[in-house]
Amino acid sequence: MLNNNNQELSIPIIDNHNSNKNNFKNFIKKEIVLILSVSLAIITSFISSPKLSYIDFKVLILLFNLMVVVAAFKELKVLDSIAISLLKKCSTYTSISFALVFITFLASMLVTNDVALITFVPLSIVVAKKSDINVLKIVILQTLAANLGSSFTPMGNPQNLFIYSFYNLDPSDFFKITAPLVILSVLFLSVIILKSKKIKLYLNLEDVEIKNKKDVIFFSILFAIILLSVFHIVDYRLAFSITLLTVLILNKKLLTQIDYSLLITFIGFFIFIGNISTMHSIRSFMMGILNSPKSTFITSILSSQVISNVPATMLLSGFTNNFKELLLGVNIGGMGTLIASLASVISYKIYTNEFKDDSSTYLKYFTFYNVLGLIVTIPIVYLILFI
């Protein structure tokens, strides 16, 4: 095509093939666990007939309910407002570290480890830029805090909710198991923070205004109902009905913010585990590996390093009744490699997107502090469990 000056126009050529190829690669990288679970479910279904009874709909409904209310709190900026109010009272690097790490620690108990990191790691980066500090260590400690803090409650992370429901645990029994790990985690994180340099800082942070306080009240009430359903006080099906009704009335858009890939991942693993549980040779092999509390504890930690702690939980649970060792093992196993807990990948991506040249440095220090966490926690928890 020529313009009026007889010069050829430069028309950009869009390579749809390469664009689709890149999108496909990105999807595989992002949803590798989803693809794995669905593939395993399909493959094993050719060997053993799948059954609807393999799917634990209670776990799926509880997860869905929690995702809805967490999405609401995120949109309403409830957590951001709390964090800013707390940070305004901090004047040193140590106090800021304590605030950012332990608000992540506490939030992860209620809104899951991944949501806590999605919310507070970007906030840490903003604070670091305003105060001109290196945020790398804080982000790594926040990641540890999210994985360790979330271990305390049934709704703190997907593997806890699964174990809590699968073994039909009493809330008091659950907390008796996880409390020692959480106390140890507080001491571990506190010692690391206190060893930081004492630097005076001055922050100028703008308040986060919560514009729709009425919705905050409604979703807080809904959150209370959902927690009551988690602790078997309210029927989970009633809580599900109330959740759907609340969302449809107040904010339908929240239904588009649910992590449906996680729900489908769970369905895939439910079918896969159900299928292989009927295969005598595999069942005998797995039960042989997990034939004692000690082997369950060690296997759950090691398998988490390779396949991440949520898939490890769902795989191992079908072959052991040692729920206490499994629960502690997969939560401790969230430390270690970057993929040991998929929540760790979230903070890594957020940090490296902001500081693109620091990815190798991040991984080096991440590995150091996570391995240190394993070295500290494994022997102590082992002694508590078995001696």
pLDDT value at 10 more than 70: no
Task: Give a yes or no: residue 213 inside a domain.
Answer: no
Closest CA to 240 of 57, 53, 56: 57
Range of the domain at 378: 78-208+259-386
pLDDT band at 19 (very low <50, low <70, confident <90, very high): low
pLDDT band at 15 (very low <50, low <70, confident <90, very high): low
What does pLDDT average to over the chain? 89
Task: Give a yes or no: residue 6 inside a domain.
Answer: no
Task: Give a yes or no: residue 189 inside a domain.
Answer: yes
* pLDDT the model gives residue 16: 61
Task: Give a yes or no: residue 49 inside a domain.
Answer: no
Task: Give a yes or no: residue 155 inside a domain.
Answer: yes
pLDDT digits (tens, 9 = 90+) for 149-196: 999 999 999 999 999 999 999 999 999 999 999 999 999 999 999 987
Integer Cα distance of 169 and 175 in angstroms:
10
Helix (H, G, I), strand (E, B) or coil at 150: helix
Task: Give a yes or no: residue 265 inside a domain.
Answer: yes
Q: How many domains does the chain have?
A: 1
* pLDDT the model gives residue 17: 62
Mean pLDDT of the 346-372 span: 93
* pLDDT the model gives residue 113: 94
Helix (H, G, I), strand (E, B) or coil at 77: coil
Burial class (CB in 10 A: 0-12, 13-18, 19+), 226: buried
pLDDT band at 14 (very low <50, low <70, confident <90, very high): low
pLDDT band at 91 (very low <50, low <70, confident <90, very high): confident
Task: Give a yes or no: residue 7 inside a domain.
Answer: no
DSSP-derived secondary structure for 239-267: HHHHHHHHHHHH-GGGGGGS-HHHHHHHH
Integer Cα distance of 100 and 165 in angstroms:
31
The rounded percent of the chain whose pLDDT value lies above 90 is 62
Residues 28-61 as b/e (b if ≥16 CB within 10 A, e otherwise) read: eeebebbebbbebbeebeeebebeeebbbebbbb
Tokens 């506190």 -> residue: 190
Task: Give a yes or no: residue 236 inside a domain.
Answer: no
* pLDDT the model gives residue 117: 94
* pLDDT the model gives residue 9: 47
